[in-house]
Amino acid sequence: MSQEFAALYVVPTPLGHLGDLSLRAMDILRQVAWVAAEDTRHSAPLLRHFGSNARLLPCHQHNEEAAAQQVLARLAAGESVALVVDAGTPAVSDPGAALVARVRAAGFRIVPLPGPCAAVVALSAAGIETSHFLFCGFLPSKAGPRAQALAELADVPYALIFYEAPHRIVDTAVALRAAFGERRRVVLARELTKLYEEFHDCVLADLEQWLLADTDRQRGEFVLIVAGAPPAAADGEGERVLSLLLAEGLPVSQASRLAQAITGASRKALYSAALRMQSGD
């Protein structure tokens, strides 16, 4: 590529199905002098497969600043660089943002290519209302911080997108039910674009059992799409259950938490309703 067009190309790569590399991405990978890759051993066969002879330089979460210096040097020499990660779109729960920021600050062109991203692929086939959605990436791996992160999301009225690894999928199913209630709808997308691609649509009350019923269901890579919280006002059913729990003498916070777990109504709205009920308003 000529010096005039030296740029950093941000190139999404397939999640599993090699046919998902776009023609434009293939073209760029064949033309650039360098490819900055999350894992050079992983990307080398992919580049060979698509006929790219680009040289590789590592760019992962532990060397992104040093990699940025190398990329800037290549761009300054008039050579174009493509940025790739192991699968999907760079900078989405993956390295890339720091490198892009450095390259932009140095005044070089950045050209993003559209392409595979597990969150968007799952969302497109979830069948969940998605006029608004929130990408949450990976939850914290430790139970306490994970519960805290989920508590902060419990009342968000938008579809929530989570990434998850196989060894944590069951724990996450349990944590989601505890935080969002039994009745919240969830769509699990597994092994997207691969041989064992699977979607499962259920409520959070049923997700753990579905996963435990067949260990094959716990294999592979996962995206979870959880429907947004129901409207902020505690609905009739929420308030009915809440008043029963309060009448049994449960404290406000416990009654609100249980009413949310049983009905799926917003915990914040239930808590306000409980305070109102107790004060006799």
Binder among 165, 212, 232, 275 for ligand SAM (CB under 6 A): 165
Could you tell me if 13 and 85 are in contact, meaning their C-beta atoms sit under 8 angstroms apart? yes
Among 39-47, 60-68, 101-109, 187-195, the segment contacting ligand SAM (CB under 6 A): 187-195
Cα dihedral: 42, 80, 93, 69 (round 10): 100
103 near ligand SAM, judged by CB under 6 A: no
224 and 188 Cβ atoms separated by less than 8 Å: yes
> Binding segment for ligand SAM among 105-113, 161-169, 260-268, 271-279 (CB under 6 A)?
161-169
Q: Which residue of the chain is nearest ligand SAM when measured via CB?
A: 88
First-last CA distance in the chain: 73
Please pick, from the candidates 133, 180, 222, 271, the single residue that binds ligand SAM as defined by CB under 6 A. 222
Which residue carries 């999640």 as its tokens? 15
**126 near ligand SAM (CB under 6 A):** no
* CB closer to ligand SAM, 169 vs 241: 169
Site membership for ligand SAM, residue 95 (CB under 6 A)? no
Q: Cβ of residue 30: shortest distance to ligand SAM, in angstroms? A: 22
Contact between 113 and ligand SAM by CB under 6 A: the answer reads no
Between the alpha carbon of residue 89 and those of residues 18, 112, 272, 277, the distances in Å are 14, 10, 42, 50
Q: Nearest distance from residue 135's CB to ligand SAM, in Å?
A: 10
DSSP character at residue 57: E
Q: How far apart are CA 250 and CA 261, in angstroms?
A: 15
CB of 206 to ligand SAM, least distance (A): 20
Q: Are 19 and 46 in contact (CB under 8 A)?
A: no
Q: Which amino acid is at 50?
A: F
Between β-strands 7-10 and 109-112, what pairing exists: parallel, antiparallel or unpaired?
Answer: parallel
Among residues 34 and 222, whose Cβ is nearest to ligand SAM? 222
Is 164 a binder of ligand SAM (CB under 6 A)?
yes
Rounded CA separation 267/272 (Å): 9
What is the nearest approach in angstroms of ligand SAM to the Cβ of residue 147? Answer: 20
- 3-class DSSP state of 79: coil
Binding to ligand SAM by residue 133, rule CB under 6 A? Answer: no
Least distance to ligand SAM, CB of residue 267, Å: 27
**Amino acid sitting at position 136:** C
Nearer to ligand SAM, 224 or 273 (CB): 224
Helix or strand (DSSP H, E) at 198: strand 198-203
275: contact with ligand SAM by CB under 6 A: no
Q: At what angle do helices 236-247 and 252-263 cross, to 10 degrees?
A: 140
| 113 φ/ψ sector (left φ>0, alpha ψ -120 to 50, else beta) | beta
Residue closer to ligand SAM, measured from CB, 82 or 192: 192
Q: In the set 21, 192, 255, 273, which binds ligand SAM (CB under 6 A)?
A: 192
# residues near ligand SAM by CB under 6 A:
23
Residue 108 within binding range of ligand SAM, rule CB under 6 A: no
Q: Which residues bind ligand SAM (CB under 6 A)?
A: 15-16, 85, 87-89, 92-94, 117-119, 163-165, 189, 191-194, 221-223
